[in-house]
Amino acid sequence: MSTDRSPCYLDDLAPGFVYRPDGEIGPITAEAITAYAREFDPQPFHLDHEAARATLFQGLAASGWHTASLTMQLIVRYGLPLAGGIVGGSIDELRWPRPVRPGDRLHIENEVIDVRVSKSKPNQGLVKMKTITFNQDNEPVQVMTANLIVPRRRAGT
């Protein structure tokens, strides 16, 4: 575990490395949930407390895409500081095991799953990174595994 904010290069990372930053965001407000939903995911369970009670969510719930946006904010602010920024090549997994609710506070954990040098671009490589977003009770609200493009300190090292 580390909370150092120095830029990490491909050469610094190895499978099994876990990064647990101290930063969090929240509390997430009902107003933020409904504002996001009005613009991007206007479904009743994201927009209206009463309507949401009659759904499988049994109450107001943030859109999964809102949760993904909040996760990105956490990654950029507090996550593993990758050299060159957080540049995604693809996502292998994106799950929302439980909804984000008004009042939730969110934090993340990053785990390096795999590291490999690019065969065509030796100055960079791919890092398979699992990011779990937790609520204040340490319950996962999102699990994402992404393939990130990360520069090397020096090509061919």
Average pLDDT over residues 133-149: 98
pLDDT band at 116 (very low <50, low <70, confident <90, very high): very high
50 alpha-carbon distance from chain centroid: 29
Structure tokens at 35: 């504002």
Output 122-130 pairs: Cβ under 8 A, ≥24 positions apart: 122/152, 122/155, 122/156, 123/151, 123/152, 123/155, 124/10, 124/149, 124/150, 124/151, 124/152, 125/10, 125/149, 125/150, 125/152, 126/89, 126/150, 127/10, 127/13, 127/82, 128/92, 129/80, 130/93
Read off the pLDDT of residues 47-61 as tens digits, 9 standing for 90 and up: 999 999 999 999 999
Q: Which CATH number fits domain 10-151: 3.40.50.620, 3.10.129.10, 3.30.499.10, 3.40.50.1100?
A: 3.10.129.10
Helix (H, G, I), strand (E, B) or coil at 132: strand
Sequence spans of domains, the chain: 10-151
Residue 131 CB neighbours (<10 A): 22
* Percent of the chain scoring above 70 in pLDDT: 96
